[in-house]
Structure 1
């Protein structure tokens, strides 16, 4: 029986543990790990010094990432990450089991308070719902799994963009995405929660609080949705904050896999 040989010389029918990784891919991913910890655009020379590689090698890696849509070159020849890695991070967040782990918590809370409870993440120019639970009775709340929420008016979107890092906020503004004003975002950051501003349209109000890694930045928003006459900030926060404290211990940063979760 003949075996198929891969590009790196390993036989395709060998056990997975015997297959050698592509060294160039490992180096490229290691470079992304370094870039994830950099707040400002980087230059080839400074990045080469940090990782201990030649300028030529680092330049090839950056050009490769640029061609794949992960990096962009600025007019001053520096490079920065695009928002594409954020999408991968959000997918990893879902695949890591946050839905499975939080579903019972969200379901119990929704039944107890009688309103829809959801988790959403910042996804490009919107907030995307990645988990939700409903109270199990008729409720005029049309929030569905996978829905995209406006960053300017939804509680979840307003919270996520207000707590986003400065570069992400600047890129959203440069892209022409409608956002809350600077004073509104500052208030949200100061209070740690946000409300929706479009509840007059459908009679549904919402309040959102952040879900953070331990001693780290927000990775998602937890929100409560219900009839405007019943949802108050005080009541919603009394439900959301204890629930957030139960969920956040699951958000432990796995140094080997950004956005990974483990219990």
Structure 2
């Protein structure tokens, strides 16, 4: 069963003491403040590193674009340019991910907003992880062909083929990300109130139960996704082992 916005709002209110219909275990104010401090520290670190990644990749992107007359003719720089775009998106995702760590004791509406942002940033992060793996595979194949077939390199690796490979890698990552979302519709990660362990509250609106019927295709797809990533990384590692022998 999908978790609606109203149900999520009730869950947040129950966690903050504004609803939920069950007795909460009291938490000492000192422990509350300690958790808020730790979460805030991690949040600020994520934001700092995310902003740093964004700035560094923007500088690299600007340098490549500024010298595009020379860099556009080399496929290596085209692949690096793709890396900068992917890593910039990852930096943005890190900043968005950190927002939920800075919302301790925040109002319900603001908490709802950060939950939604966290969900969208998670989707983007899965997409960028896939594109990163595919781009690493692409740059590895470029180096492998350049070293093993230097005389045929210019005829095998062309600018047009590299651009098509990048476009196809992005399309493949989009397809896999969308499939991941579709398989997770009924088996998604949702917040479960600890009060749901109480049998008298098992049917409360904020107690969301996963549908076990979706476990099989969820498991199969993710095993396929893991195998795909492992094969790509193993092929990359195998190429470098062969080159360094």
- Judge same fold: TM > 0.5, yes or no: no
What range describes the TM-score normalised by the shorter chain of this pair? Answer: under 0.3
TM score, norm. by length of structure 2: 0.27
**Greater fraction of residues in helix:** 2
**Greater fraction of residues in strand:** 1
TM score, norm. by length of structure 1: 0.26
